[in-house]
Amino acid sequence: MIGWPGLTGLSVAVAALLGPSLFWSTPAAAEAPETTFARGVIVHSVDENGSSKVMRRTAQRLVDPRVEVLVDVTLDEHTALLLFDQPQPVAVAEDLAADLQVRSDVLWAEPDVLIQPTEVTLPNDPLFVDQWSLWEGGEDTDMSVRAPEIWGIDSGDPDVVIAVIDTGVAAHPDLAGRVIDGYDFVSDILMANDGNAWDPNPADPGDWVSAADINSGLFPESCRSVTPSTWHGTHVAGIAAAQWNNGYGISGAAPNATIQNVRALGKCGGFISDIAAAVRWSAGDIVIDPDTQLPLPVNTTPAQVINLSLGGQSACTRTMADAVLTARALGSVVVAAAGNDSLPVSTHLPSNCPGVVAVAATDATGARASYSNYGVSTGEIFIAAPGGSSSRGILSTSNTGATAPAQPSFDLKAGTSMATPLVSAAVALIVSGGITDPVAIEARLKQSGRAFAPTSSRACTEVTCGAGLLTFSLLADSITLTGERTQVRGRPGVSVEGKTLGLPAGELLTPYVKLPGQTAYQPGTGVRRVVITQGQVGEFDWQRRTGKKVYVYFRSESGEQSERVIIPANSASATGRPR
């Protein structure tokens, strides 16, 4: 068989403050080398053996006279590889493939190019190198969620809202443009520390506890330590959706999602009634202000994901259970920290409430974190994610103020509170792919857990830590749909009812995209929606603006291929029709 030198066959190929870090370095972006040549054209014919010598002679007439089509290699009963005498620019192979594809006996034809390893999308944020919970190289020893392995496909959608119900969020450059206002549900004026009870300003004024607070006798008995402000909500928000690729700070796990700032914790914590009201309001339910007895303004941007990095030792109360079930009925997924007491999760509210996605924490070795609560029966913990430890914390957005807000900063914390927003971010990515039913979302989320690493102590199991260690690359594999509507989203595959781009009805369709500067098609990149418009006409939305033409085609499960669609420069959508 004649091919490139060296090639044979077909090439396919709520946590403790640990303190700030001092110095940081800039990560190097991982770049996949470009493919610039093709060794031939793969032809799929209608009839068996339809790509034999006759096809080769046809190809020889069509190709540049200076190029010789030497032999054809049978790949299967319908498919053959037409080899050039020497590697040619991909443009030559593309032109030949396009000419062959117009033949009535050819279903599809495409260049045979060398496939390079999938590019890992690393941001240029200078502190990303210290975010081990997101990425630590991708090898077997990497106990992160491996977020860069999905970011090239899905980095979130601004229309997808994560409600962070916490201490509030302080202003921070790495959260600018990512946070929208929610509501302040801290009803106790002393605990609220902002001079009023429920109000429309959820910004974090600081939650420090002073000696005067303790000596006043006005705070709970459990609040007996002088502590600085934690900026806990700011930290959680940054883990979930801090800006990325802005040359500053860190990256969030779902960096294009939106955070809704909903405050329910103040000095010493928050009350169940306030937290439950915050859950219901975040999901879009009607909530009555206890002081005015009037309904609050309805949340006009109801959250698809509600993050609860909070809790305490208690059985699940009816108030909290009703709030969670109400949120689920309104389409929200409620994600809650398992707790930091190293006890069974059944002792910790709200992660022990029905309908909650309870999150355990792992450390940098992949073991269950020493503090993390755990499951005793299968299903009590849904999934695990990195929460850090005293030696390797989780880096995120913070503030230097010991009391009131001062300067934006970055800080390390550890706890199930830090693991939870990673899972909330994963849910946001699933929703960005078009899956909106909480049951379906949770089914996809469960598929994203990889096998736990064997460790010498505190090894996670399905019982103690849930479905596995959250892994974003597996999440990418799970973002597929079965076409219950005429408008769906999905990557890497989209299945629809009816015929899309001339392909068989009801089959899973995988989009293949070639971006500017690329010479090979990659599955799934950039396609956000497929819509059946009429008859055999299919339409999809293109999510990137490239400044140059982009090529897209779809392939069905049974191997049939649509026509190639050319997306004009700077276009946001395209329509394809079958030949």
Q: What pLDDT does residue 424 have?
A: 98
For 143-203, the DSSP string reads -S--THHHHTT----TTSEEEEEES-----GGGTTTEEEEEE----HHHH-SSSSSBS---
What confidence score (pLDDT) does residue 447 get?
84
- Let me know: does 54 contact 103? Beta carbons within 8 Å: no
Long-range interactions of 476-483: CB distance < 8 A, separation 24+ = 476/149, 476/150, 476/153, 476/154, 476/524, 477/447, 478/430, 478/444, 478/445, 478/447, 478/448, 479/153, 479/154, 479/429, 479/430, 479/433, 479/435, 479/444, 480/508, 481/433, 481/434, 481/435
Q: How many Å apart are CA 169 and CA 70, to the nearest integer?
A: 66
Q: Does domain 128-470 have CATH number 3.10.310.10?
A: no
Give pLDDT, residue 538. 47
Enzyme catalytic residues = 166, 232, 417
| Helix, strand, coil fractions of the chain, as percent rounded to 5 | 20, 25, 55
CA distance 421 to 134: 12
Cα maximum dimension of the chain: 95
Q: Is 64 helix (H, G, I), strand (E, B) or coil?
A: coil
Residue 483: Cβ within 10 Å count: 21
Residue of 440, 553, 447, 425 whose CA lies nearest to 488 = 440
pLDDT at 525: 52
Residue pair 549/567 in contact by the 8 Å Cβ criterion = yes
Q: Are strands 356-362 and 383-386 parallel, antiparallel or unpaired?
A: parallel
DSSP string, 381-450: S-EEEE---SSS-EEEEEE--SSS--SEEEEEEESHHHHHHHHHHHHHHHHHTT---HHHHHHHHHHTEE
Tokens found for residue 207: 């939650």
**Predicted local confidence at residue 59, as pLDDT:** 62
Count of all residues that appear for the chain in the document: 579
What pLDDT is recorded for position 442? 92
The residues with which 165 forms a beta bridge, in sequence order, are: 262
CATH architecture under which domain 36-113 falls = 2-Layer Sandwich (3.30)
Kindly report the number of other CB atoms within 10 A of residue 22's CB atom.
Answer: 5
Q: State the pLDDT at residue 49.
A: 52
Spatial contact of 72 and 52, defined as CB atoms under 8 Å apart = yes
pLDDT of residue 66: 58
Q: Residue ranges of the domains in the chain?
A: 36-113, 128-470, 487-576
Residue that is written with structure tokens 């109360």 in the block: 317
Beta bridge partners of 310: none
Per-residue pLDDT of the chain (579 residues; tens, 9 = 90+): 222 222 222 222 232 222 222 222 222 223 333 345 777 888 877 665 544 555 656 666 666 665 666 556 666 667 777 777 777 777 888 888 888 877 777 777 788 875 544 457 799 999 999 999 999 998 889 999 999 988 877 788 999 999 999 999 999 999 999 999 999 999 999 999 999 999 999 999 999 999 999 999 898 888 889 999 999 999 999 999 999 999 999 999 999 999 999 999 999 999 999 999 999 999 999 999 999 999 999 999 999 999 999 999 999 999 999 999 999 999 999 999 999 999 999 999 999 999 999 999 999 999 999 999 999 999 999 999 999 999 999 999 999 999 999 999 999 999 999 999 999 999 999 888 777 889 888 988 998 999 998 877 789 999 999 999 999 988 764 433 222 222 223 333 344 433 444 455 555 566 677 766 666 666 655 554 444 333 334 445 554 445 566 677 666 666 666 656 666 655 443 333 322
DSSP per position, 477-515: HH-----SSSEEE-SS-EE-SS-STTPPTT-EEEEEEE-
